[in-house]
Amino acid sequence: MNQRLLNEIAAAFRQLDFSDENASVDALKAEIATLYEAIAKADARRSEISRTLIEDRGPDARAVADGLLSDVSAMEAASSAPSRAEMEAERAALAAGVRDLNERARDAREKIQEVESKAFQRLGPLIKPLLDELAADAREAAERIVQAFSALETVGYATRYSGELDKVSDAVAGIIGEGCLLRGPYQNLLEAPGEIVEMLSTLRDKGSALPVRIATSVSVPTRPAIFAI
């Protein structure tokens, strides 16, 4: 790992100032909290109205009696409480208000995501040199894996001993090909390592009991197709 580059990026990170972005996010979060508080109050009132409508059995006898004792007419006493239609209208208005509040909260959350996205975008130019270096390291390691696979395949073909060829083959299948870490210049075949071929050649004349086969190229492994069920 390039420690000098890491130190340079860390120093650049320390110079970043997100005061404006932080203030925007904090204000939006406060707005969302206020909106949810209002939604909670509206929901509580809607529940209260719903319970009242379910339990409604006409004018409250006690309220009517109290009204009559206060020289209020029976009609006035009976109609002093909100009517069913009024409560239903209030509940509907509260529902509409809650929908609007939820939309405002959603808009505020989207604004937070926009602020966060722009903040992260500021990191891109600073981190790109490290990403490029890490990708180059990964390709170099992938090349070594491919070379190891070619050697394992060649040795295994000749000696019938392949060690962990299957595991390395799976790794190669994931790093060679379109959309993979290594896109070329590989085709369907990999050249067998010359030094491996030369080493195996010493087994050619050992007689009929050891019919050694030496390959000069090996097939590139492919990933199995995945079928949806």
Query: Mean pLDDT across the stretch 179-202?
Result: 84
pLDDT of residue 221: 87
Q: What is the dihedral of CA 116, 117, 121, 123, to 10 degrees?
A: 40
- Structure token pair of residue 49: 């109205």
pLDDT of residue 75: 53
Query: Mean pLDDT across the stretch 183-190?
Result: 73
pLDDT of residue 178: 76
Residue 228 confidence (pLDDT) above 70 = no
Max distance between CA atoms of the chain, in angstroms, equals 127
pLDDT of residue 208: 86
Query: Mean pLDDT across the stretch 15-34?
Result: 96
Please tell me which residue, 70 or 128, carries the higher pLDDT value. Answer: 128
Residue 116 confidence (pLDDT) above 60 = yes
pLDDT of residue 109: 97
Which of 44-48, 112-116, 146-150, 220-224 has the weakest average pLDDT? 220-224
Query: Mean pLDDT across the stretch 174-196?
Result: 82
Query: Mean pLDDT across the stretch 44-55?
Result: 87
Determine how many CB atoms are found less than 10 A away from the CB of residue 18.
14
| 133 φ/ψ angles, rounded to the nearest 5 degrees | -70, -40
Q: Which residues pair with 191 in a beta bridge?
A: 217
Instruction: Quote the percentage of the chain above a pLDDT of 90.
Output: 62
Find out whether the peptide bond into 185 is cis, omega within 30 degrees of 0: yes
Residue 214 confidence (pLDDT) above 60 = yes
**Which residues, 6+ apart, have CB-to-CB distance to 152 below 8 Å?**
162, 163, 164, 165, 168
**Which residues, 6+ apart, have CB-to-CB distance to 149 below 8 Å?**
165, 168, 169, 171, 172, 190, 218, 221
**Which residues, 6+ apart, have CB-to-CB distance to 9 below 8 Å?**
126, 127, 129, 130
Across the chain, what does the average pLDDT equal? Answer: 86
Please tell me which residue, 162 or 112, carries the higher pLDDT value. Answer: 112
Residue 57 confidence (pLDDT) above 50 = yes
pLDDT of residue 225: 46
User: What does the alpha-carbon distance between residue 168 and residue 194 come to, in Å, rounded to a whole number?
Assistant: 20
pLDDT of residue 226: 46
**Polymer length in residues for the chain:** 229
- Structure token pair of residue 211: 């019919």
Which of 27-41, 65-79, 166-180 has the weakest average pLDDT? 65-79
pLDDT of residue 77: 54
